[in-house]
Amino acid sequence: MRLKETPEEQAFRRDLRAWLGEALPALPPEPPFEDWAAKRAYDTGWQRRLFDAGYAGISWPEQYGGRGATPSEELIFLEETEKAGAPYVGCNFVSTLHAGPTIAAEGTPEQRARYLPPILRGDNVWCQGFSEPEAGSDLASLRTRAVRDGDHYVVTGQKIWTSHAQVADYCELLVRTDPEAPKHRGITWMVMPMDSPGITVRPMRTLTGESEFSEMFLDEVRIPVENVVGAENDGWRVAMVTFSFERGTAFVSELLGSRRLLTDLVEIARKTPHGHGTAWDDAGIRRDLTLVAAELEAQWALTKRNVARAARHGSPGVGGSVFKLAYHETRERMGEVALQVLGRARLALDDPTGLSARHLDHVHQRLYSLSLSIAAGTAQIQRNIVGERLLGLPKER
């Protein structure tokens, strides 16, 4: 067991830090709330800067234009970019972390040549068309139909929870190509150009007031056969390949962002009047904040463990589920104590009185934390995974 960095890792960190010091001051101002076109321009602009500096596709294999960094280096990359306040992956999430790596692994040489370079350069934005209204946790029961018609598929159905659909160029789409086969065997993974006729995107507003997600209605959308990645009816396996790229680093930015939130909350507590002193003088609030800090540090240790496992065995195993379950609980506790600290300042989602020296929106974060036990596998599904795969308990049926 070793936490100390190798000279190579130290050099990687030093170079990255130096580059961030130059690149970040040159960034344009952040896009306004809910302006998705501006958000796209901002996020893809950042991706382009990463590309020019050699940091695009940090975990992608070098042969496909990535940097081929080790999981430890990827961890350092995420740590340094977060520390420096660099933009998050944002609109580039599906392209750089899902669709891109999947096409690199499963695509044809033509598909790789066509789709991967624009992803790395930040020219294209991708969205994900997996979930459906009737296929959430039970994703494999998806019903969007694709019927072969000559050298095209004709696709009809409905998708939901499609992030950034309103500004995407392509969609990684899961469709049912064989309705007679067992549910995992009749699915196909294909690339849908978002300018195809028959696509209607209807943004959904979440309880935080944002419309990052959309519903997507597909009405006889014609998709060329050559857009299938992997084989017809082999899409479930291809989708699983996507998830297997997880190297224990999926929630690193989240976790580090939470550390920053906690530090900020402590500062706010120290100056916010509460009873006869400040909120920090309240032993209950102080203890709650301390417990959150302790849990976040412990989860940072778990993250390093998961990354080490992924480096050795190719994936962190159930470590990702373990992390998510611990993390969402901590974030919920942090949300509770944040609102205690803020008192009546909780009445605003953002921070109109300027309590946060870092311009962080703790009330928004309190609401956002509710999604952490739902998105990317609900807490209940994660507990099944831990119970069955780690403890070996029997399945329900």
Partner 1 sequence: MDFELNDDQVALRDELRRFLADRMTSEARRAVIDMPGAVDRALWRELGGMGIFALTQPESEGGVGLGLADATIVYEELGRAAVPGPLLGTFFAAGLRDAGDEVAELAARAAAGEAVVGLVPAGDPVFVEHLAGLDALLVVADDGVTLVDPPTSSRPVDRPLDPLTPVDLVDVLPPGRGVGGPDVAGGLRNAGALLAAALQVGLAEAAVALGTAYATDRTQFGRVIGSFQAVKHLLADAQVQVEVARAAVQAAGVTIDEFLRAEQAEAGTGDAAGVHRISEPARIVASRAADRATRACIQVHGGIGFTWELDAHLFLKRALVLDVGIGTPEAAADRLAAAL
Catalytic residues: 246
- When asked if residue 100 is in the footprint of partner 1 (CB under 8 A), the reply is no
Distance CA 155, CA 47 (A): 31
Residue 11 in contact with partner 1, rule: CB under 8 A:
no
| CB nearer to partner 1: pick between 43 and 79 | 79
Cβ closest to partner 1, residue 23 vs residue 268 = 268
Tokens, residue 66: 């990535």
Looking up tokens 């992803």 gives 119
Q: Which residue of 18, 200, 290, 314 would you call a contact of partner 1, by CB under 8 A?
A: 290
CB of 4 to partner 1, least distance (A): 5
Closest-CA residue to 362 (of 256, 262, 254, 281):
262
* Residue 83 in the binding site for partner 1 (CB under 8 A): no
Q: Do 64 and 113 form a contact (C-beta atoms < 8 A)?
A: no
When asked if residue 72 is in the footprint of partner 1 (CB under 8 A), the reply is yes
Query: Minimum Å distance from CB 286 to partner 1?
Result: 5
Query: Does 225 interact with partner 1 (rule: CB under 8 A)?
Result: no
- Minimum CB separation of residue 253 from partner 1 in Å reads 18
Distance CA 375, CA 395 (A): 22
Site residues for partner 1, 236-275, by CB under 8 A, read: 262-263, 266
- Determine if 294 is a binding residue for partner 1 (CB under 8 A): yes
Tell me which of 14, 271, 312, 358 binds partner 1, using CB under 8 A. Answer: 312
Q: 67: how many CB neighbours lie within 10 A of its CB?
A: 20
Q: Would you count residue 118 as binding partner 1 (CB under 8 A)?
A: no
Q: How far apart are CA 231 and CA 347, in angstroms?
A: 53
Report the residue from 241, 311, 367, 376 that binds partner 1 according to the rule CB under 8 A.
311
CB-count exposure of residue 166 (10 Å: 0-12, 13-18, 19+): buried
Could you say which of 150, 197, 275, 392 contacts partner 1 (CB under 8 A)? 392
Nearest distance from C-beta of residue 268 to partner 1, angstroms: 12
Dihedral sign for Cα atoms in the order 125, 185, 214, 376: negative
CB 86 within 8 Å of CB 78: no
**Of 146 and 338, which CB lies nearer to partner 1 in the complex structure?**
338
Residue 293 touching partner 1 (CB under 8 A): yes
Nearer to partner 1, 122 or 335 (CB): 335
CB distance 128 to 138 below 8 Å: no
Q: Which of 319, 360, 362, 363 binds partner 1 (CB under 8 A)?
A: 319
Q: Which residues contact 393 (CB under 8 A, 6 or more apart)?
A: 387
Using CB under 8 A as the binding rule, whether residue 308 contacts partner 1 is answered as yes
DSSP state of 226: G
Distance (Å, rounded) from C-alpha 385 to C-alpha 117?
A: 36
Q: Least Å distance between CB 72 and partner 1?
A: 5
Q: At what angle do helices 71-83 and 252-271 cross, to 10 degrees?
A: 30
Task: Supply the minimum distance, in Å, between the C-beta of residue 379 and partner 1.
Answer: 9
Q: What is the DSSP string of 231-286?
A: -TTBHHHHHHHHHHT--S-TTHHHHHHHHHHHHHHHHHHHHSEETTEEGGGSHHHH
Sequence letter at residue 90: G
Choice from 17, 114, 286, 346 touching partner 1 (CB under 8 A)? 286
User: In this structure, are strands 187-193 and 228-229 parallel, antiparallel, or unpaired?
Assistant: antiparallel
Count, residues in the chain: 397
C-beta closer to partner 1: residue 9 or 169: 9
- Select the span of 50-58, 191-199, 200-208, 286-294 touching partner 1 (CB under 8 A): 286-294
**Nearest approach, Cβ of residue 176 and partner 1 (Å):** 28
Q: Given candidates 201, 291, 349, 367, which one binds partner 1 under the rule CB under 8 A?
A: 291
Which spans of this chain sit near partner 1 (rule: CB under 8 A)?
A: 1-6, 9, 72, 75, 262-263, 266, 286-287, 289-291, 293-295, 297-299, 301-302, 304-305, 307-309, 311-312, 319, 322, 325-326, 380, 382-384, 386-388, 390-397
